[in-house]
Each structure stands twice: as structure tokens, then as C-alpha cells.
Amino acid sequence: MPRPDPVSAGLQRVLDEVAPRTEGALATYIPQLAGADPDRFGIALVSMDGHVYRAGDGDAAFTIQSVSKPFVYALALADVGADELLARVGAEPSGEAFNAISLEPDSGRPANPMVNAGALLTTSLVRAGDPAERFELILACLSAFAGRALTVDEEVFRSELQTASRNRALAYLMASAGSLTGDVEATVETYCRQCAVSVTAGDLAIMAATLASGGVNPVSGERVLEESAAVRTLSVMATCGMYDYSGEWLLRVGLPAKSGVAGGLIAASPAEFGIGVFSPRLDERGNTVRGVAVAQEMAARFDLHLMHHPGPTAPVVYDTIGVEAGEGRRIAVIAAQGDVEFAAAERIIDATLAEVAGGATAVLLDLHRVTRVHHIAERMLDVLLSGLIEDGVAVALVQQGEVAADVAAGAKLGTREQALAWCHAQGA
């Protein structure tokens, strides 16, 4: 057996550590869940490069259940727009259980799309000519997130529909308050069918990674949703995804997540990866015991928390050189490297302004070792450089082609030599 890659090895270690935990109980409200193999346990992780790592039963099939909620929310976002959707379904955590009533007193607007009431309403808002088409669109959406054609576990669907009294109640409450305007029975049926879509931990990891990547499925390469919709979906998962455990979850794990009653769980680390876990034993809040443990273990082991400070960085400005250009003119070469976010941009600005204050008449910003320029940094550099130009300072940039900062001001050159030549020429 070949040595596993480090990521797979890490997943396996987490799985081995968490596997002994056998507390919790299967969901029992339908026979298909009550009859699940309680020992199944799979973990999958999908990177922004589209690598799929698995440990344990990463290919075991189960129904997606509530993990479908964020993805259908993303679909509705695209269909009705962010503002209109917010007017119909709130985004406030309610501190309540998944099946809480959680409706605004008069309007009947559900608190958020991660509790059942909000999920039902969200499903009803997917734009379609009829319920059959609506479900086809939902299934197509979930399939696009997963990167393969998903199917419905019809047996689970029928059982769900038979035991959907609570969801029917929520839907009828919303209908009576006027917040749910679609056909109640059709909405409940579509929602039950959406919950019965069959997935694996691997599928869930790809779906989560698609959110983490800002909406592009990293395996298929397909853009499934707009970046702004991915941000909104992850935000709602962060505050509401784990029901009345959401606050503590963010405290302990610090990643947007969503769980389902069949034992599925997703977590997403924005711009990093998506995780999918499957283990059917649930805690008293309805979250998969091992899934929660996997996420906590990984977060603690790898410092994945959203609020985590990633530690010190090497100097962004790794070199500053003054080049005399004759006739009192001096070219300042500022060489930067790495990931340029706010703090790095600030340092580049500081170094540049110091050089100009010291008499530089041209600035050569050498960014060829820079790997990424964040939007805020681009705006800051733009202001800096256009100001210099207005003040009569010549400005040249050396950038790596692929990650060229979107900065309007300044001459863009391919190498430091070309840039220096350009600067010299400016003096003429």
C-alpha cells in the first residue's frame, strides 16, 4: 500500500480519534433512518483545487435532509434576489430548535432559512411554473453543487411525507399568516423530496467546497452561484446553521456549518476547503455526534477558526533600492512579496511615501513576488499611485501576469529591468 498523502492521512487520524465515540441515537421518526447502520462513519474534504480526500465510509449513501437548506437558499437567492428574499425569510438566529415555530408574530415571516419554517418558505420561492418543475430545478441545483446527477431515495421521501405533520403545521401557519403564498401541500411535498436526495460524505464535501470557493464547484469547474450568494449563504450558516447550538458552534469551531438528521454535516472554510461528514448517531439537538466532534477536532488541531489570526508574516517589502537617474532624479525601487491585504498595502504605502519624502522622483513597485492583491489593497494602491502621479512622480509596476493587481494608475511592465528603463525614460 502506498503511503497516503498528508491530507488523507490527517483525515484518517481525525477519523480514528473520533470513531470510538458511540453515544447518541439514530433518528427514529421514519423506519429508513431508524434502520440505518449506526456505525457508518465517513469524512471527506475537498480543496479549492478540487482534490477530494476521503476517510472511512466516504462513499456511503444517506439522505441529505437539512443539509439541503443552505443550497436551496442559494438557489432562491439567485431566483428572487437578496433583498426580496430577506423580506420573505429573515436571517436572525432564533436560539431555537430546528422545528421551532420561529415566525414573526404578525407577518409570519420565518426567523431564518435554516429552521424548518424558513426552509419550507425558501423552497416555495424557487421560481418555477409548477411543483414538478420546481423540484427539478432544486435537484439540478443540488447536483450542480455536488458535481454529479443526484437522485431521490423514493422510499425515504414517502416516509417523510407520511410523517410530515410538524412541517405541514409550520407551512399552514405561514399560509394562514400570508407569508407562505404557494400551495401548502405541494410545498411540503417538494421540501420532503428535497430532504430525501441521496448523497455521500464526498458529495457534501464538494458542495461545501463550492460555497467555500465563492460559488465555483472546484471539481467540475462550473460556477454554480454568484460569489455574493455564496457569501450570504455562508453567513446564514454561520449564525443559524446549527440551530440552538449555533453560537457555541461558532465559539468552538468557528466555521459555517449545517447538519442533517440522517447524520450528514458540512462545514466550509472560505477560500480553503469544504468538509462533509456522515455518522448517523445524533445528539439531543439533532446534530451528528461524530460530525460535530470531527469539526471541533479539525478546528482545534488546525486553527481553522474564522476569527483566528494566522500569525506574523514576513516583511511584505523585502527590498528597497534607490537608483540615481541623473539630474537629481532618483528612482525608488520598492519590492513586495506575498499576499497583499490591508496591512501589507499599508506597509507598501509607508515605504513608498518615505522614499518620495526622501526625494524619489520615480517609484518602481516591483510586485513580481506578490501572490495576491486583495480588493482593499488594490483600492489603497490606486489612491497612492494616482496621488503620486498627480504630484509629478513617475510610477511603474512590475507584476506577475496571473495575479496582476487591478490598479489603474502607473505603467505596467513585465520585468524590473523594463520598468527601470521606463523610469529612466520618464526623466527625459
Catalytic residue list: 66, 69, 191, 243, 261
> Binding a second copy by CB under 8 A: which of 155, 375, 414, 415?
375
**Dihedral sign (CA 336, 342, 347, 349):** positive
- Contact between 92 and a second copy by CB under 8 A: the answer reads yes
Taking CB under 8 A as the rule, does residue 169 contact a second copy?
yes
Three-state DSSP at 260 gives coil
Distance CA 309, CA 289 (A): 28
CB of 353 to a second copy, least distance (A): 7
**3-class SS at 327?**
coil
Q: Which of 136, 313, 354, 415 binds a second copy (CB under 8 A)?
A: 313
Region near a second copy per CB under 8 A, out of 130-138, 234-242, 289-297, 417-425: 234-242
Nearer to a second copy, 156 or 344 (CB): 344
Q: Which is nearer to a second copy, 56 or 93 (CB)?
A: 93
Residue placing its CB nearer to a second copy in the complex, 111 or 196: 111
Which residues 244-283 are close enough to bind a second copy by CB under 8 A?
244-248, 250-251, 254, 256, 269-273
CB neighbour list of residue 72: distance below 8 Å, 6 or more residues apart: 119, 122, 123, 126, 138, 141, 142, 194
> Nearest distance from residue 183's CB to a second copy, in Å?
11
Q: What's the first-to-final CA gap in the chain, in angstroms?
A: 67
Least CB distance to a second copy at residue 55 (A): 14
Residue of 191, 337, 361, 398 that binds a second copy (CB under 8 A): 337
Among 38, 172, 323, 329, indicate the residue that binds a second copy (CB under 8 A).
172
Query: Which residues between 343 and 362 bind a second copy (CB under 8 A)?
Result: 343, 346-347, 349-350, 353
Q: How far is the CB of 75 from a second copy (least distance, A)?
A: 17
| Rounded Cα distance, 219 and 41, in Å | 23
Q: List residues bridging with 329 in a β-sheet.
A: 326
User: Read out DSSP for 124-176?
Assistant: HHS--SSHHHHHHHHHHHHHHHHTS--EE-HHHHHHHHHT-HHHHHHHHHHHH
Question: Quick check: 323 binds a second copy (CB under 8 A)?
Answer: no
DSSP-derived 3-state class of residue 265: strand
Distance CA 292, CA 357 (A): 55
**Least gap, CB of 283 to a second copy (angstroms):** 15
From the CB of 200, what's the least distance to a second copy, in Å? 21
CA dist., res. 192 & res. 159, Å (int): 9
Q: What is the tally of helices (H) and strands (E) in the chain?
A: 16, 13
Task: Determine which residue in the list 143, 339, 389, 411 makes contact with a second copy, applying CB under 8 A.
Answer: 339
Cβ at position 307, least distance to a second copy in Å: 4
Q: With CB under 8 A, what is the number of residues at the site for a second copy? A: 103
CA atoms within 13 A on the CB side of 410: 29
User: Can residue 312 be called a binding residue for a second copy (CB under 8 A)?
Assistant: yes
Of residues 183-212, those binding a second copy (CB under 8 A)? 184, 212
List the one residue out of 334, 396, 394 whose CA is nearest residue 370.
334
**Binder of a second copy out of 21, 95, 139, 321 (CB under 8 A):** 95
Chain residues 2-21 in contact with a second copy, contact rule CB under 8 A: 3, 5-7, 9-10
State in angstroms the smallest separation of the CB of 346 from a second copy. 5
Q: Which residue number, 197 or 304, has a Cβ lying nearer to a second copy?
A: 304
The reply on whether position 176 binds a second copy by CB under 8 A is yes
- Whether 333 and 420 have beta carbons less than 8 Å apart is answered as yes
The stretch among 32-40, 133-141, 331-339, 418-426 that binds a second copy (CB under 8 A) is 331-339
Interface positions, 392-411, toward a second copy (CB under 8 A): 400, 402-403
CA gyration radius, the chain: 26
As given in the structure block, the three cell numbers for residue 75 are 438557489
Cβ neighbourhood burial of 33 (10 Å; 0-12, 13-18, 19+): buried
Q: Name the β-bridge partners of 362.
A: 331, 394
What is the footprint of a second copy within residues 101-140 (CB under 8 A)?
101, 111-112
User: 166 or 424: whose CB is closer to a second copy?
Assistant: 166
